[in-house]
Structures are given as structure tokens and as C-alpha cells.
Structure 1
Amino acid sequence: MKKIIFIACSLFVAAATTISCERDISSLNVNPKQPEVVPSQNLVASSQNYLATLWVTPSVNSNISRFFTQQWTETQYVDETNYNFVTRNQPQNHYNTLMRDVLGPLKQASVFLDSEAEATTYSSADQAKIKTNKKATIELLSIFAWANLVDTFGNVPYTEALQNTTDNLVLQPKYDDAAAIYADLQTRLNAVLGTITPSLPGYSTDVVYKGNMSKWVKFANTLKLQMGLNLADVQPAAAKSLVESAYAGGVILAAADSYNHPFVAGQFANPIYQNLVASGRDDFLPSDVYINNLIAKADPRLSKYFTPLANGTYVGGPYGETATFNNFSHISSTYTGAANAGKIFDVLYVKLMLAEAAARGFNVGGDAATLYASAVNQSMTDSGVSTADAAAYLLAHPFNAANWKQSIGMEAWVALHNRGYESWYFFRRLDYPVLEVPGVADGLVYRMPYSLNEYSTNKTNVEAAASAIGGDKYTTKLFWDKF
């Protein structure tokens, strides 16, 4: 269909050219209500919103990552908790959002930015640096999105992706090797860090950092930390270099530096509020897998995360099975506020990653046990748990150096409540918690299958990609998921 549209457009252009000598009809091709050039700042802000919404939403149509780690379960519709990716085609929605709504607009923003003027209150030299800072913002958001595509699917279109102009049109892009993409993203990440001038602003309309480039540097280093940890089992030397340079360069360790996307009431309310409150639906419950673990450990976060039944007990819904909503505990209102920020990179997540990095022998400013305790305490503080209760919990559940993957993996799973993608990263790297395969599922989820639409429009390339990674199954592990 895309080819037909393109051919039809080409014939129209050719026909218009042959009669242009009689009269000028070029104005007929101009839609006065649709600008040909959009301010780049608008495209950047829009991309940030699409990215955050995809990351945070619990919608079964686009983000079912909370089920990958079995923190949540469903009530009457249980396709997603049994890892059915066909009924609602979440892979297509995830892929399209990142390609069409994030990466595509960011690429165009970079083009439009070239012709935009900077504030004349700055010198010519500083104007150039400000424009470079804006380019860096675009690049960092793009690298984040590309990394997530690789971490979600494995091999994806990259070098031939987003080639959609008439003089550079690729309708069926090839799929690039995931490890090669990762290597290129690391190169891009290091390169863009060298272009930022922290003392000058970027986009003042940047919805998270408001153009504060010192914070974008920390975002970049935090992304580098995450990518480095992902490589730890397959490229230990490269991982060590990435992680240690990220820490030395400065990662997010202060709340004010967190990359938390602001949501507001109304149309732009937090997607968790939209799906759990505003929708009026009763589709989600905390799972028994998750709640039972907290109960067994007398975890003081239990009452902060969930609501008790009338008798004061906490009961999770049976994972992967139908359940009556009112018979079980529910997600606490603390997590369903309309104006709650969407957490992507924050202090808790970084501290958990640093604990893992130290356990792997990387130099990140402390030993694993100390950083583990710091991460647990951060989670307790964020959840409103008292210092005394936090100390008692740590005393009962200290860091286990002999099985550090279990210690950190389990704590990350609990601490990252309601944060599916972040939990999924730890689960795949550390193989904790040990989860059971639900109902009719073929196994646990280590990647998303490719979009069904790709098999219709890009069949040869997607089939080659599926073969290259060992099969287009959600049980197929990514190149960096060695164990």
C-alpha cells in the first residue's frame, strides 16, 4: 500500500510538471492549516510525552511489562498475564510509538533546528553552543529510545530506519544486529557528552529539565550505566569501562536531577490514573506472587504499596487467572494520582544499579553491601517507611555476598513496584526473582516478539531477523542476556 501511494504521488508530481508552463498551480499543494515547518521545541516536547506515557502506562494495549515480572495481574481478561502478544498486538504499538511518535519527530526536530535562530542576548559563539546543546537533547532522547528498542526486541531496523523522504525512501528497512546497534549507540553517547556546554541552556521548553544541560549530562551517564550493566555478562571489559566512566562523569544521585516526566490533571494526567481511576474499570490487581513475597519477609512497604481487605490482611490476585476485583488488595492511591510524575531515571533506580555494579567488581564509589543498604533505604524513604522499620528490615535481610544476584534481584523487584521496564531489566540480568510459567504460556518473557505488521509489510527482513536471533519468540533471550 505504501508503494502504491508513493507511485501515485510521483505520477501526480510528473503530471503537474508537464502543465506548469501553462499556469502556476503549485499553490494548490499548500495546506495553509498544516505548517511545513514546526518549531523543533514542540517536536521535542511531544516526543518526551509519548516516551514517558509509553514507559509509565499500564494499558494492556501498549505496556504489559508489569506482567513480565508478575508484579501485577489481571481480573477478567488474562491474555496478557499469560503472555499473549497477538490479541492486542502490544509489540506493534510499542514499536510504532517509539519509531513514529518519538524517533521520527526527533529526527525532524534536528532538521528544523538548523534553521532556527537563537536568542540574540547571547554572543554568536554562545548561540552556536546553545544550538549544540539542543542537538544534544535530541540525540540523548533518541539514544534512549533506540536502546529500548534493542532491549525490547533484539535486532531492529536502524541504519535504514526512518528513511522517509522522496529522495531517500526505504519502505522495507533491513534489521541490524542488536550488538552492533548497541556498540554504535555507545559511540554516539560518548560523542554527544563531549558536545554539551553545561553552563549554557538547551531547550527552555524541555518538559523535564527545562534546558538544564548539567542534568542532561547526568541523564546521559545514567543511560550509559544502564547499558553497561546490560553488557556485563557478554562484554565484561566494555561493561566495566562504560559503568565506571558513567559513575565518574556523574549519574543521577539527587532527587532534583531525576528524569521524572511531569503529568497534570485532565488530558495529560498520569496514565496510571487514567487506567486505574478515570476509566472506571477494575482490570488490575497486585499479584499473589508479589504480595506473598512481601508478607513472607514482613516487608514494611506492603502497607504503603497496597490496600488491606476489611479484616486487615493483604491478598494478591492469583497470577494469570481470573479474579474478582473486590476480593483482593488493590494498588494504593499513592500510585494512582492524576498529577504523579512518570519515573524513568531516579535516585532509587540508580542506587540499585550501582549496587549491582559494585557486586560485579566495578568501581562505583562503594562496596556492594553498602550500596545495597543505601538502595533499600532509598526505597523505604520513597515509600514513607520509618527509619526504624527500614533498619529492622535490613537487619533481617542483609546483603548476601555469596548470592548477590538474589539479594539485589529480589530487592530491585520489590523496590521497583509499579515500574515494569526497570524491573524487567534486573530480572533479565540477574535471573531473580525465580518466577513460574503461568497457565498456557510457553515460558517467561525475555523479549517482545516482532510486530505482526512487520510480517505483512517487511516480511523478508523480519524473517531474517527472527532467524538471526534464534527465533521470534518471547522466550528468546537477547544478545546480552547470557544466563
Structure 2
Amino acid sequence: MKKLLYIAGSIFLTASVLTSCERDISQLNVDPKHPEVVPSKNLVVTSERYLADYWVTPSVNLNISRFFTQQWTETQYIDETNYNFITRNQPQNHFNTMYRDVLGPLKTASQFLSSEAESATLSTGDQAKTKANKQAIIEILSIYAWVNLVDSFGNVPYSEALQNEAGSTVLQPKYDDAATIYNDLTARLNAVLLTIDPTVDGYDNDAFYNGNMSNWIKVVNSLKLRMGLNLSDVDPAKAKTLVESAVAAGVITDPADDFAFPYVDGLVSNPIFQNLVQSGRNDFIPSDVYLNAMKAKSDPRIPKYFTPLADGTFVGGPYGNLASYANFSHVTDTIKEPDYPGYLLESVEVKFMLAEAAAKGFTVGDSAENLYNEAVNASMNQWGVDPADAAVYLAANPYNAANWKQSIGNQAWFAMNNKGLQAWYFFRRLDYPQLTAPAGATGLVYRITYSNNEYSTNGTNVTAAATAIGGDKYTTKVFWDKF
């Protein structure tokens, strides 16, 4: 990708040099290092990388979601495990990543794509289908990022956001109502499905699926499933429509179809490797809250997730308190590999969501109990647990229809190891696991607070948004988190 950008820059530099022999002094205004137009495919794959990096990274400067459900804890610095969003300004970094690094470039890519020619080897009809598929990939990625913003913050700039064209610049965009944004995003998901033709590909450098549109259709449906479940307590009718239509059309149930970024060793390595290995720091260990809960269930995934101490025992660090890295278990090398995939939406999460949907009375093709069993087994298989051990575990931890939120919520928490944002979704929807706020916090995290920078540069609008949602606190729930 960098090579492609370099080539694009070189073309502009060459053009500048050639025309400098003439009397056209307007070329002095051309910056050869920052071309005005680059191939849309470059912008798309870069946006994919930024989106995945945010979702995956454990960086305390950006994504501290593994602490929201207390799966991990810190050793030397404990501000983040006590839900301090001020010191390192994670809200602003999150805000910038989604707007500046993902949504902005995707909008530009969409504009550039409209004037790009498709391969002459394709028929006229297939050229049009290919361009429509590329536009669909841009739209799906954009919607995914928008959903992340709403689910994280609540009300956010939407209708007036990204207005940076000459003549229509909006420097202080208003914050739109989160439920209204959600309605528009679900409409956009339904609309984009109608534009996709899986008989031809989209972008050939698409990092997730190499342009395979059948996979992208499953991403749309799986995102609809997640959004529908989110809405189930505030708009049951809409939730039912979203969930059942998504499942009927096909969601991600095969690991081969996972929406996962394919990191590789080198410049595009997994952010977990960068933060836990490459940096040489020992900042994170499993928390006692998480590990003790798994030990109480004799969970066979424990040695797959964490390392034992010298005596063979597994010990989690005290959540929210200082800890010595050497005295506690660590995360295993599996997730620390530079090429470990970055999961944004994957089959294990989807299977637990299907169990949740069935428990809520939606028609999704099977009973909640069967889907619960399938989800637990899928997680065990994902981590290489022996099927016999998985069977023993399920027999000891069967689905409890009388308290299905606890059954599904706790098991999803165990299964979403190292997937902080995914675990946070289940926690907020099901209110399990039942956690206790650390001593340095004012409660548990249900949303991310607005950034200090917004109060400095867009104060009137962000203050109005804070009032509208019931206060800019991390304990304030987003609109769909009713209970």
C-alpha cells in the first residue's frame, strides 16, 4: 500500500518537474508529496486497517474495552482499570480514529471511485456491477464505523459530519439523536444489500475478503443481527424484523467467513503483538475476576487463554490494583503472534447472538438451548479444546432457560476472550456477568465519554448532546441499553 502511495506521489512529482520548464506558475501550488487524487482502493484498504486496529488494539491510549468487562487488568499503571478516560484521552483518540482515519477516507474513496475506470477486460455490464460492489464495500465499512460510534458514545455528529467540501464546510457539526442515527443506519444496510451482485468481485485488494461479495453480504446480515439484538429492549418489533431477516438471508456461522483482518509479520502486524511483545512492556495480565470465574467452572479453555505459574496454578491479578507481572498468569503466546487475526465479527460471537435471539423469542432456526450448546462448542473448538472435555464442561454448565441471560451472558463473556468490544456488547445487553466497580471508579462502563477536545472546539453542540443523553458520564447508558 505504501508503495502504491509512493508511486502516486511520484507521478505528481514527475508532472510537476516536466511542467516547470513552461511558464505555468500555478504548479507552484501543487504539493508533490500529497497528491489530490489517489486510487480509491488505497483509501479503502487503509481505512480497513485503521478500523481493525482500533477494534483489536489493547493500547491504553486508544481501546481499553478489555477492562470494561474486567477480562484483563494492569500491573504498574491502573488509571485505565479504574475507568479514567481523562489522563490518556481515549475518547478523543477513538473519535479521531473513526472520523478522521476511517470515515473521512472512505467518503473520499467513494468520490474518487465514481470517476475511476474499471478493467477493460470486463463486459460493460460487469464493469457496472464491479463498481457497485466496490461502492457497497465502502458503504458497509462506513456503516460499521458509524454503528461503533453510536454504540460507544450515544449521540454523535452524523448528518452534519464530514462536511468539508468547498462551500459546504461545517466546522461545528451538531450531534444527532442516537436512535435516529440507528434507524438511518439500518435503512442503509437494507439498501446496500440491494446493490450487491455476488457474481462479480469488488476491490481485489480488499483486506478482509479480496472483494468476495458473498462474504460481505454475510457481514451486513451479521451486523444487522447485532444491531437488532441491541434494539430488542427498546423497539422489539424493529428488532424482530432485523434479526429474523438477517438470519434468513445468511449470517457468519463458519470460521472461514469471519470478518477478521489478516495481519502479517512486519509493518502490518497485529496490535496485540506490537503492544505486548514488540514494545517490551509487561503491562497486562488476566484479572482475578475473569480467571476466578473460569476456574469456578473448571473451564478447559483456561490453559489455552493463560499461562500457569511454576507450581501449575493459574492466578489472575487483582482487578484495578497494582500487581507484579511476575507473580501472576499471563496471556498465552497464541494471541501475541504478529499474524494473529483481528476479529471484528466472527462465527463464535454470531452463534452466541443466535442463542440470545432465540431466548428472546425470535425465529432463528433452532432452540435457544441447542444454539447455546453450539456456541459453547464453537468456542471450545476455536481454542483447540478436546471435544470430550468440551462435552464434560457443557454437561456441568447446561443452558438454564429460567435464567437464560445469566447462562448466555456468562458463557459469552468466557468465549469472548481478548475480544473486549464484543464482550462489552453482551454485558450491556444481558447484564451478565455481574461485575463490581473497582474502588477508583464511580461505577461500571456503559458508554465512552465525549472528548475534551470536543468541549473546546464544538462546545455548544457537545454540551447539548450530553444533556440529551442524561449526562456525559461513562455510567450513562446508550439509548438501547434500557435495563
1:44-92 CA deviation, whole Å, 9 max, x = no partner?
0000000000000000000000000000000010000000000000000
Mapping of 1:5-84 within 5 angstroms? 25-84=25-84
Measured after TM superposition, the shift of residue 166 of structure 1 is 2.1
Q: Is residue 286 from structure 1 mapped to residue 283 from structure 2 by the alignment?
A: no
Counterparts of 1:334 and 1:124, CA distance in 2: 47
Counterparts of 1:41 and 1:30, CA distance in 2: 23
Counterparts of 1:253 and 1:297, CA distance in 2: 26
Measured after TM superposition, the shift of residue 24 of structure 1 is 5.6
What SS does the aligned partner of 1:230 have?
A: helix
What SS does the aligned partner of 1:298 have?
A: coil
> Which blocks of at least 5 consecutive residues in structure 1 are unaligned?
1-22
Counterparts of 1:293 and 1:323, CA distance in 2: 19
Measured after TM superposition, the shift of residue 34 of structure 1 is 2.2
Find the counterpart in structure 1 of residue 113 from structure 2: 113
1:117-170 CA deviation, whole Å, 9 max, x = no partner?
001111112111110000000000000000000000000000000001221100
Counterparts of 1:451 and 1:324, CA distance in 2: 32
Counterparts of 2:143 and 2:265, CA distance in 1: 30
> Which blocks of at least 5 consecutive residues in structure 2 are unaligned?
1-22
Q: Is residue 414 from structure 1 mapped to residue 414 from structure 2 by the alignment?
A: yes
Opposite residue 125 of structure 1, the aligned amino acid is: G
Mapping of 1:143-158 within 5 angstroms? 143-158=143-158
Counterparts of 2:138 and 2:462, CA distance in 1: 28
Q: Is residue 388 from structure 1 mapped to residue 391 from structure 2 by the alignment?
A: no
Find the counterpart in structure 1 of residue 5 from structure 2: none
Counterparts of 1:157 and 1:222, CA distance in 2: 25
Mapping of 1:83-232 within 5 angstroms? 83-232=83-232
What SS does the aligned partner of 1:164 have?
A: coil
Opposite residue 435 of structure 1, the aligned amino acid is: L
Q: Is residue 431 from structure 1 mapped to residue 431 from structure 2 by the alignment?
A: yes
Find the counterpart in structure 2 of residue 355 from structure 1: 355
For normalisation by structure 1, the TM-score amounts to 0.95
Counterparts of 1:34 and 1:386, CA distance in 2: 54
What SS does the aligned partner of 1:343 have?
A: strand
Mapping of 1:186-335 within 5 angstroms? 186-335=186-335
Measured after TM superposition, the shift of residue 478 of structure 1 is 0.6
1:279-320 CA deviation, whole Å, 9 max, x = no partner?
110100000000000111111111111000001111000000
Counterparts of 2:185 and 2:86, CA distance in 1: 30
Measured after TM superposition, the shift of residue 254 of structure 1 is 1.3
Q: Is residue 471 from structure 1 mapped to residue 474 from structure 2 by the alignment?
A: no
Counterparts of 2:253 and 2:211, CA distance in 1: 19
Give identity over the alignment, percent: 67
Which deviates more from structure 2 when the two are superposed, residues 38-47 or residues 115-124? 115-124
Counterparts of 1:270 and 1:123, CA distance in 2: 39
Find the counterpart in structure 2 of residue 399 from structure 1: 399
Counterparts of 2:418 and 2:207, CA distance in 1: 22
Find the counterpart in structure 2 of residue 12 from structure 1: none
Q: Is residue 336 from structure 1 mapped to residue 340 from structure 2 by the alignment?
A: no
Opposite residue 416 of structure 1, the aligned amino acid is: M
1:203-252 CA deviation, whole Å, 9 max, x = no partner?
00101100000110001000100000000000000000000000011101
Measured after TM superposition, the shift of residue 463 of structure 1 is 0.1
Opposite residue 110 of structure 2, the aligned amino acid is: S
Counterparts of 2:201 and 2:383, CA distance in 1: 33
Opposite residue 315 of structure 1, the aligned amino acid is: V
Which deviates more from structure 2 when the two are superposed, residues 117-126 or residues 201-210? 117-126
Opposite residue 437 of structure 1, the aligned amino acid is: A
Measured after TM superposition, the shift of residue 265 of structure 1 is 1.0
1:170-209 CA deviation, whole Å, 9 max, x = no partner?
0000000000000000000000001100111100010110
Opposite residue 374 of structure 1, the aligned amino acid is: E
Aligned residues: 461
Greater than 3 Å deviation, 4+ residue runs: none
Counterparts of 2:195 and 2:109, CA distance in 1: 18
Counterparts of 2:84 and 2:121, CA distance in 1: 56
Opposite residue 452 of structure 1, the aligned amino acid is: N
Counterparts of 1:33 and 1:416, CA distance in 2: 43
Find the counterpart in structure 1 of residue 444 from structure 2: 444
Q: Is residue 376 from structure 1 mapped to residue 376 from structure 2 by the alignment?
A: yes
Counterparts of 1:207 and 1:225, CA distance in 2: 23
Counterparts of 2:399 and 2:92, CA distance in 1: 40
Counterparts of 1:43 and 1:455, CA distance in 2: 30
What SS does the aligned partner of 1:73 have?
A: strand
Counterparts of 2:160 and 2:337, CA distance in 1: 41
Find the counterpart in structure 2 of residue 17 from structure 1: none
Find the counterpart in structure 1 of residue 3 from structure 2: none
